[in-house]
A = this chain, B = another copy of it.
Amino acid sequence: MTWLDLPADHPFGLHNLPYGVFSTAGTEPRVGVRVGDHVLDVSEVARIGRDAVGVGDGPDLTAAWERPSLNPFLALGRDAWTTAREWLTAVLTDAVHEERTRPHLVPLADVTMHLPLEVADYVDFYASEHHASNVGRIFRPDSEPLTPNWKHLPIGYHGRSGTVVVSGSDVVRPTGQRKAPTDAAPTFGPSARLDIEAELGFVVGGSTARGDRVALEDADDHLFGVVLLNDWSARDLQAWEYVPLGPFLGKSFATSISPWVVTTDALRAARVPLPGQDPEPLPYLRGSDATADDPGTAWGLDVHVEVEWNGTVVSRPEYRDMYWSPAQMLAHLSVNGASVRPGDLFGSGTISGPGKDTRGSFLELSWSGREPVTLEDGSQRSFLEDGDTVVLRANAPGPDGSVIGFGECVGSILPAR
């Protein structure tokens, strides 16, 4: 199948081909594609020429890829992404290209990974019914767990683009105001309830004009790929500030994403029907009917996520449990005529399932501190301590029994300044 020496079950085999931005010692950051345990320096390979691999006239991929972010490539749109994927597959499959391509395979150990995109607008959704219900029970114990709007629209809000960072970046414990219900006034200091949110992030490409909307059935044209996303959250700051205008400083200090953007093309075999929506959403959010063979336009994703806290796997959320689909989120985000740009990023919201072992935040896992988590070293945790490290990992089914890897999204906590 390929001139590469890759085991068929490698999570970064030819079925995957995720995009990132890398550099080696003394070189500028540029786009690369992960192949096995190597990074393919694709702008160099693209110089081989498009005619050589028989895809004919196409976009100038060298120009798009010799850049320090994916944004120029994201701007090219769906047809160019498809062409690029076909071309890369041909280059890595046909032995005639081996000699010219092999020199551009860089061992992972020799590269530094960078933030893969220049984040334009960042939106965070709240698409897990289990998570929203748990948070409602914890934050608003005297009310219904879900607000009346929750099953009518995918609730979301804008976050801070400038503090989206790549996996491996440390997170300084945020400082701010917090006030327990029993306190007379707020106090100031480091967050004492620092948390994670295990999410998927969706990377948007192409663009629309202001005033237009992305119809649900056109969402695939703009959904370029998927990353792991950790929406670090200071629960004490958030609880005091969030009424009435929503989360702000409780979230804006850092959001980590994994360095490899797994394309939605690679995730075709992972599409599954949603768990079901009742009441039926309004027409602009209504996908075509899902069947056993076809998950419809409002597809979910069968992505298995793992949350590791200081070496102990504490949760295994399943993305297929999410209530709202990525296409529904994008259709909703733009239904008011808000334009989209290459580099827009939206998070799914915490991925939580029905069982305790599938909760995607420590707030839920420890039930706001009342049921601490025991790690393998015997220590107990409710929220993050200085020096703690969290790793998110994920994989999904690929075609023909293959596995699609997402890699890792890692972050460690530094003390407050």
Contact = CB atoms under 8 A, between A and B. Distances in A.
A254 B179 CA distance: 35
Contacts of A211: 172, 253, 414, 417
A60 to B, nearest CB: 22
A174 B211 CA distance: 7
A153 B337 contact: no
Contacts of A157: 157-158, 245-248
A262 interface: no
A162 B246 contact: no
Interface string A328-365: 00001101111111001000000000000000000000
Given A152-B186, A212-B417, A247 B249 contact: no
A3 interface: no
Contacts of A242: 244-246
A292 B253 CA distance: 38
B338 A160 contact: yes
A158 B252 contact: yes
A332 to B, nearest CB: 7
Contacts of A126: 245
A152 B188 CA distance: 11
Contact of A247 (B159, B246, B279): B246
Interface stretch (A41-49, A68-76, A95-103, A233-241): A233-241
A121 interface: yes
Interface in A221-278: 234, 237, 240-250, 252-254
A147 interface: yes
A284 to B, nearest CB: 6
Given A254-B210, A284-B188, A246 B249 contact: no
Nearest to A186: B152
A96 to B, nearest CB: 44
Given A121-B162, A157-B158, A253-B338, A283 B188 contact: yes
Contacts of A284: 188
A333 B237 CA distance: 12
**Could you tell me the dominant secondary structure of chain A's interface residues?**
loop
Contact of A245 (B156, B163, B254, B332): B156
Contacts of A176: 335-336
A282 B186 contact: yes
A83 interface: no
Interface string A149-175: 100110111111111010001001011
A279 B184 CA distance: 12
A250 B153 CA distance: 13
A69 B337 CA distance: 24
Select the residue from A165, A172, A187 with max chain B CB neighbours within 10 A.
Answer: A172
B249 A172 contact: no
A175 B245 contact: no
Contact of A335 (B249, B341, B344, B414): B249
A112 to B, nearest CB: 18
Given A158-B158, A246-B242, A344-B162, A336 B121 contact: no
A237 B175 contact: no
Contacts of A245: 126, 155-157, 242, 246-247
A120 interface: yes
A147 B243 contact: yes
A207 to B, nearest CB: 9
A346 to B, nearest CB: 11
Contacts of A341: 162
B172 A253 contact: no
Given A160-B158, A241-B149, A177 B282 contact: yes
List 3 A-B pairs, minimum CB-CB distance, nearest first.
A246-B246, A172-B211, A174-B336
